[in-house]
């Protein structure tokens, strides 16, 4: 498909940029910048995901719902990477399987929203769509989409990758395979002006790679078969994932495998299911059965966060660790029943002591939520709740081995 044709496909969840000149300027500047990740690094991750898809490994993907701009966000990188590493160790010890650590990091700046606008005290403004689009403060200045933010997102991603490298958790080629310190980055490929501007051709192979992150996923709200996001994912050689919610049908998933992984190459395509603890046991089995029967070697991963969001009586978005644990348990049980491999976890989490989800060893209560609610979007597991979940997962995954 030509670039012109790609641009005419419907693209959900895109901002309306008021300043078109600034958009064009920013896009041409981004086009001239180097890719943030290298093709060989993306291929290396694809290899790790292939092992997981074949039952010989696990994916542990985690980080903030929405990364934000500024120094504070860079300071939080260490906590997320360290927590993911500790969780990986717990999982590897219990299962004997290598765990591919992948951050929701260095590019997780764009958010799809349920509503395009937010109203407070009679004032209606555009919804916050992530720091790459607009600001969180409820003012007309902040909420007006500003395309120049895309260049800031690039610079912040660059600084985040440097920080990860400084931690010795660098991805890939440099540190060599299998030494336990590999780390890759991922984000939702939502903002197409940004993603398209960072696609680069690998001079070695001539293949097109997204240069914005190693693994990109398509969200639940933008996975339309005839939409621009799926088309974009089909056009790049990186490993890709798709979020799969409870309304997905087996036919849709089979169509996605045909569009995104026509050659059935393990490691190319991951389905991240996010059904909700109360629905997973009804809706997941037929999907897994039919995709498995088709012979496509997709990697199945559980996001136990997005199907379990609730709004408290005081209007705060939260999640219960008990629901997150229950969906994780059911995910493993469903795959064991079908005979497929439960391939890992996708989490919204942080290394800090936030109070956004309730429960866990440190017993965060609904009353505690206001104490340290720092997320710009969805509620994350704090450090201790993340480690709790790693032990729960280790128990479940360890049982069948």
Ligand X SMILES: C=C(OP(=O)(O)O)C(=O)O
Of the candidate spans 161-169, 214-222, 231-239, 326-334, the one that interacts with ligand X by CB under 6 A turns out to be 214-222
Count the Cβ atoms, other than its own, within 10 Å of residue 352.
16
Q: Are 356 and 347 in contact (CB under 8 A)?
A: no
Q: Is 229 one of the annotated binding-site residues?
A: no
DSSP string, 327-360: HHHHHHHHHHHHT--EEEEEEEB-SS----EEBT
Least separation in angstroms between residue 243's CB and ligand X is: 4
380 sits near ligand X (criterion: CB under 6 A): no
Q: Is 104 one of the annotated binding-site residues?
A: yes
Q: Helices 250-260 & 280-294, crossing angle to 10 degrees?
A: 40
One residue of 11, 58, 65, 241 binding Mn ion per CB under 5 A: 65
Q: Which are the contacts of 271, defined by CB distance < 8 A and separation ≥ 6?
A: 241, 242, 244, 253, 256, 291, 298, 299, 300, 301
CA distances from 277 to 218, 281, 284, 331, 390 (A): 22, 8, 11, 9, 17
Of the candidate spans 26-34, 106-114, 197-205, 251-259, the one that interacts with ligand E4P by CB under 6 A turns out to be 106-114
Q: How many CA atoms lie within 13 A of 134 on its CB side?
A: 26
Specify the DSSP class assigned to residue 308.
S
65 sits near ligand E4P (criterion: CB under 6 A): yes
One residue of 12, 25, 54, 113 binding ligand E4P per CB under 6 A: 113
Q: In what order do the strands lie in the sheet with 310-311?
A: 310-311, 317-320, 357-358
377 sits near ligand E4P (criterion: CB under 6 A): yes
| Residue whose token pair is 């450090």 | 383
114 sits near ligand E4P (criterion: CB under 6 A): yes
Q: Is 113 one of the annotated binding-site residues?
A: no
91 sits near Mn ion (criterion: CB under 5 A): no
Residue numbers 204-233 binding ligand E4P by CB under 6 A:
none
Least separation in angstroms between residue 126's CB and ligand E4P is: 12
Q: What is the distance between the alpha carbons of residues 123 and 162, in angstroms, rounded to a whole number? A: 41
279 sits near ligand E4P (criterion: CB under 6 A): no
163 sits near ligand X (criterion: CB under 6 A): no
378 sits near ligand E4P (criterion: CB under 6 A): yes
Binding site for Mn ion (CB under 5 A): 65, 378
Binding site for ligand X (CB under 6 A): 65, 112, 219-221, 243, 274, 306, 378
Q: What residue numbers does the annotated binding site for phosphoenolpyruvate cover?
A: 104, 220-221, 243, 274, 306
């Amino acid at each position: 498909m030509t670039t012109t044709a790609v641009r005419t496909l419907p693209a959900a969840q895109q901002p309306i940029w008021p300043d078109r000149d600034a958009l064009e300027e920013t896009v041409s500047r981004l086009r001239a910048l180097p890719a943030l990740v290298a093709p060989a690094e993306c291929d290396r991750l694809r290899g790790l995901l292939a092992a997981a898809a074949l039952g010989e490994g696990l994916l542990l993907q985690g980080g903030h719902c929405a990364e934000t701009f500024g120094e504070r966000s860079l300071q939080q990188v260490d906590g997320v990477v360290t927590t993911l590493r500790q969780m990986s160790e717990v999982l590897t010890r219990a299962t004997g399987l290598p765990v591919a650590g992948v951050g929701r990091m260095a590019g997780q700046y764009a958010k799809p929203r349920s509503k395009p606008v937010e109203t407070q005290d009679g004032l209606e403004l555009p919804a916050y769509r992530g720091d790459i689009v607009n600001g969180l403060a409820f003012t007309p200045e902040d909420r007006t989409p500003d395309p120049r933010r895309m260049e800031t997102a690039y610079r912040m991603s660059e600084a985040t990758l440097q920080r990860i490298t400084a931690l010795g958790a660098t991805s890939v080629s440099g540190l060599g395979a299998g030494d336990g310190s590999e780390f890759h980055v991922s984000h939702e490929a939502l903002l197409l002006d940004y993603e398209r501007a960072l696609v680069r051709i690998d001079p070695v192979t001539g293949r097109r790679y997204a240069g914005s992150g190693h693994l990109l996923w398509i969200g639940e709200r933008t996975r339309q078969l005839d939409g621009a996001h799926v088309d974009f994912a089909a056009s790049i050689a990186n490993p890709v994932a798709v979020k799969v919610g409870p309304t997905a049908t087996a036919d849709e998933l089979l169509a996605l495998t045909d569009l995104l992984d026509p050659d059935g190459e393990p490691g190319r395509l991951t389905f991240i299911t996010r059904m909700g603890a109360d629905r997973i046991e009804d809706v997941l089995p037929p999907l897994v059965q039919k995709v498995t029967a088709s012979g496509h070697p997709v990697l199945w991963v559980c996001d136990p966060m997005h199907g379990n969001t609730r709004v408290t009586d005081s209007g705060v978005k939260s999640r219960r660790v008990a629901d997150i644990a229950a969906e994780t348990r059911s995910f493993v049980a469903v795959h064991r029943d079908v005979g497929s491999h439960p391939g890992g976890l996708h989490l919204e989490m942080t290394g800090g002591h936030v109070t956004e989800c309730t429960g866990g060893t440190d017993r965060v209560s609904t009353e505690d939520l206001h104490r340290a609610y720092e997320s710009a979007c969805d509620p994350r597991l704090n450090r201790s709740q993340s480690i709790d979940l790693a032990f729960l997962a280790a128990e479940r995954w360890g049982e069948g081995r």
